[in-house]
Chain A
Amino acid sequence: MLFSSVTFLFVFLPITMALYYIVPQKFRNVVMLIASLIFYAWGEPIYIVLMLLSIVLNYICGLDIEEKQDDPRRKKMALIFAVVVNLLLLGFFKYYGFLMDSLNAVLPVNIPYRDLPLPIGISFYTFQAMSYIIDVYRGEAKTQKNILYFALYISMFPQLIAGPIVRYIDIEQQLKSRVLSLRKFGLGAEYFIIGLAKKVILANSMGQIYEQIARQQMGTFSVLTAWVGCISYAFQIYFDFSGYSDMAIGLGKMFGFEFRKNFDYPYISTSITEFWRRWHISLSTWFREYVYIPLGGNRCNQSRHIMNLLIVWMLTGFWHGAAWNFLIWGLYYGVLLILEKYVWGKSLMRLPSAVQHIYAMVLVLVGWVFFSSPSLGYAFQYLGVMFGPGASGFADKQALFYIFTHWLLYLIAIAGSSAFGINLLKRIMSEPNSVKVRKIVAGVIYIGIFLISVAFLVTESFNPFLYFRF
């Protein structure tokens, strides 16, 4: 089930919320757990078993680590077992086909293999499980004795399918006690509505433009069209993913949970370093905490530090998908970050801020070409068009067509990529002097946005979700 679907918005969510608020407090976790399992099983009737088995296994491994806490060596073995099994599961379901394809490309023989479809959300819930195991091992979190609470942590429907990747220590206390209030509910609803609008109105529209442009043969479209396509994709993936994250955070709030924000207006960054502090924060936090720091982070000599960065970024890229272009995308950012840290970081800061913004945006856009392309070859061809060699002219009617017919969309997208958009809304809502009028204005605006989103949702057949295949 997707958040941006009629079933979820008008059937699943109202029923779940009603039940959640009606039942006594001690049953709330159970209600949420059952709802989450239904939510997952709706789209994955077979793989729900896998998730349940993963939950049971990680629960037991948590207990196992606790049992062995007095014996450092056995404790470490228990940790290694848990982490390895989780990684094997993820690796098998996600990367097995890629591995076989790559082997077949290299070897003289062609090994046939039977492939399995990818379980939805496996990258997210496996990482959350490992976050729990490692936090328990480090003594930063207590073992969760209640398997239902643990299952809820792993499978909670707001963050199950597409994140944010919630660290166990962030939610440990909230599983036991959290506050529900009308105010929190309202805030959550605001987040949710904004997220839905981002996804359904902005992301889907941008996605359509990108698809139309990218579908064409190389060499038939101009430089400007290629850039329009790339920019559209950049907007699509941002609004898609941050919209979903907003919905997840909003839903969390409505159920009393507080998640950390996952995006912080990444497109206003002035450097790649800053970009990755603002994009998919929960993922980079996870890799920093559980891979980068254990490897030594930056508390080692320079060459080791560079190696650590390259490893972490290759893995980050690879996490996104079992394909070479994702690995290259990750490596691309790893190299850029190293260069910013060791070569031109300081000089960069002395440049005028407009230049810094352009620098960051261009590099990010080039990165997206790798991310969005079905193959490396395609990526390089597309870049070729963007930078001249492969294009048919600098600008053509098509580019102007897209810009002139979608100028409002792009304007809204630009406003929404920085705090400007939301601040404008807030300004409008706080204009009136009386509290009552302010409430009405806010209500009208948010309900209006919601209804427009639903209209888009119902009429559009194009509703992909890019981060869905993780």
Chain B
Amino acid sequence: MIEKNTGEFDYNMDDIRDTGEFDYNMDDIRDTGEFDYNMDGIRDTGEFDYNMDDIRNTGELGYDMQGARTMRSSYNTGSLHTGSKRPGYAGILKYVVSAVIIAYIVVLMIFTSGSTKSFTQVEKAVEASLDTSNLKQVDVQGLKRYYGLNSADYEGVMLYSSQVSMSTEEVLLIKVKNEKQVQQVKDAVQKRLDNRKKDFDGYAPEQVKLIEQAQLSVRGKFIFLAVAPKAEAYKDAFAKSL
């Protein structure tokens, strides 16, 4: 019985429908779509099968030609992933680490975040803690003179400085208007501390020590600096007031 031509090419003219793909060895079995070099009707593994053992070459030269993996390397598994069947630890671990990250963020929020309070609220709280026997409030010109900053650029400025020239005591509180100013103020504060240290180096070692133990705290938009014997107490008052 002669079968109908299927409308597709019938190269070997045997009246059987070609499989639509090349049928090089003309056995009417569909070639696997990949080269079948050794013409055994078995699909080559898609990689060169030099030793023609129908075992997939491992992708690296498999010199022993026994189809066994010659090198213990990750390439030999034939897949890009080195996956052997591992137990599913990663699936659980990722949730654990995510939880740790969330905990870390919570801690950050508590201890380093900014504040919802206004400048005046924080200022009052800090001022209340200050020992004003040495520290006196300095007007806004002081900020320009000592730090090179324009107080008009910021939302709030409070500066206390020692009236005695041999003392480096100073307390500064600034609330900036935006994030970009934070680095600017931090740099100015650092410069001030460096300058003061240079001024007193060799003359008054206790003052230099005060500078080295200065308390600097950046909380959101608030920047706080205290150079004083009670600097830590002032910083705590600041932190509490946020």
* Interface, chain A (partner B; CB < 8 A): 46, 49-50, 53-54, 56-57, 60-61, 63-64, 66-69, 78, 81-82, 85, 89, 92, 97, 112-118, 139-143, 145, 374, 461, 468-469
**Which of A54, A68, A92, A114 has the most CB atoms of chain B within a 10 A radius of its CB?**
A114
Residue of A81, A116, A461, A468 touching B94 (CB-CB under 8 A):
A81
Asked if B140 lies at the interface with its beta carbon under 8 angstroms from chain A, I say no
Residues of A within 8 A of B191 (CB): 461
Q: A61-B90, A117-B218 are in contact. Are A53 and B97 (CB under 8 A)?
A: yes
**Would A67 and B82 count as touching, CB distance under 8 A?**
no
**Would B114 and A116 count as touching, CB distance under 8 A?**
yes
Asked if B167 lies at the interface with its beta carbon under 8 angstroms from chain A, I say no
Q: Shortest Cβ distance from A61 into chain B, in angstroms? A: 5
Q: A49-B104, A139-B80 are in contact. Are A113 and B94 (CB under 8 A)?
A: no
Asked if B156 lies at the interface with its beta carbon under 8 angstroms from chain A, I say no
Q: Shortest Cβ distance from A314 into chain B, in angstroms? A: 22
A153 to B221, CA, bound (A): 33
Residues of B within 8 A of A56 (CB): 97
Q: What are some 17 contacts across the A-B interface (CB < 8 A)?
A: A46-B108, A49-B104, A50-B101, A53-B97, A53-B104, A56-B97, A64-B90, A64-B94, A69-B81, A85-B98, A114-B109, A114-B116, A116-B220, A117-B179, A117-B182, A141-B80, A374-B178
Asked if B61 lies at the interface with its beta carbon under 8 angstroms from chain A, I say no
Residues of A within 8 A of B114 (CB): 114-116
A68 to B91, CA, bound (A): 9
Asked if B74 lies at the interface with its beta carbon under 8 angstroms from chain A, I say yes
**Would A143 and B82 count as touching, CB distance under 8 A?**
yes
**Would A67 and B94 count as touching, CB distance under 8 A?**
no
A232 to B104, CA, bound (A): 42
**Would B81 and A66 count as touching, CB distance under 8 A?**
yes
Asked if B4 lies at the interface with its beta carbon under 8 angstroms from chain A, I say no
**Would B104 and A50 count as touching, CB distance under 8 A?**
yes
Interface contacts beyond A60-B90, A66-B90, A114-B220: sample of 5 additional A-B pairs, CB < 8 Å, sorted by A: A53-B100, A60-B97, A114-B115, A114-B116, A139-B80
**Would A46 and B83 count as touching, CB distance under 8 A?**
no
A469 to B109, CA, bound (A): 20
- Count how many pairs of residues, one from A and one from B, have CB atoms less than 8 Å apart in the complex: 88
Residues of B within 8 A of A469 (CB): 179-180
User: Which range holds the interface residue count of chain B?
Assistant: 20 to 34
In the complex formed, the residue of B with least CB distance to A65 is: B90
Residue of B81, B94, B97, B104 touching A143 (CB-CB under 8 A):
B81
Asked if B72 lies at the interface with its beta carbon under 8 angstroms from chain A, I say no
Residues of A within 8 A of B93 (CB): 60, 64
**Would A116 and B113 count as touching, CB distance under 8 A?**
yes
Residues of B within 8 A of A92 (CB): 105
**Would A114 and B113 count as touching, CB distance under 8 A?**
yes
Residue of B82, B97, B112 touching A116 (CB-CB under 8 A):
B112
A116 to B179, CA, bound (A): 10
Asked if B240 lies at the interface with its beta carbon under 8 angstroms from chain A, I say no
Q: What 6 A-B pairs are tightest by C-beta distance, nearest first?
A: A112-B116, A64-B90, A114-B113, A63-B90, A115-B114, A57-B97
Residues of A within 8 A of B82 (CB): 66, 142-143, 145
| Cβ < 8 Å to A, chain B residues 163-221 | 178-180, 182-183, 191, 218, 220-221
Residues of A within 8 A of B105 (CB): 92
In the complex formed, the residue of A with least CB distance to B109 is: A114
Asked if B88 lies at the interface with its beta carbon under 8 angstroms from chain A, I say yes
Q: Shortest Cβ distance from B153 into chain A, in angstroms? A: 11
**Would B94 and A57 count as touching, CB distance under 8 A?**
yes
**Would B116 and A89 count as touching, CB distance under 8 A?**
no
Residues of A within 8 A of B104 (CB): 49-50, 53
A143 to B83, CA, bound (A): 9
A337 to B78, CA, bound (A): 43
**Would B94 and A61 count as touching, CB distance under 8 A?**
yes
In the complex formed, the residue of A with least CB distance to B93 is: A60
Residues of A within 8 A of B91 (CB): 64, 67-68, 78
Residue of A57, A66, A85 touching B83 (CB-CB under 8 A):
A66
**Would A142 and B97 count as touching, CB distance under 8 A?**
no
Asked if B145 lies at the interface with its beta carbon under 8 angstroms from chain A, I say no
A68 to B88, CA, bound (A): 9
**Would A67 and B116 count as touching, CB distance under 8 A?**
no
Q: A60-B93, A139-B80 are in contact. Are A116 and B101 (CB under 8 A)?
A: no
**Would B90 and A67 count as touching, CB distance under 8 A?**
yes
**Would A57 and B179 count as touching, CB distance under 8 A?**
no
Q: A114-B109, A114-B116, A116-B114 are in contact. Are A142 and B220 (CB under 8 A)?
A: no
Residue of B101, B115, B179 touching A53 (CB-CB under 8 A):
B101
Residue of B74, B86, B179 touching A67 (CB-CB under 8 A):
B86
Q: A63-B90, A67-B90, A114-B113 are in contact. Are A57 and B98 (CB under 8 A)?
A: yes
A82 to B98, CA, bound (A): 10
Residues of B within 8 A of A78 (CB): 91
In the complex formed, the residue of A with least CB distance to B111 is: A46
Residues of A within 8 A of B74 (CB): 142
Residues of A within 8 A of B101 (CB): 50, 53-54, 57, 85, 89
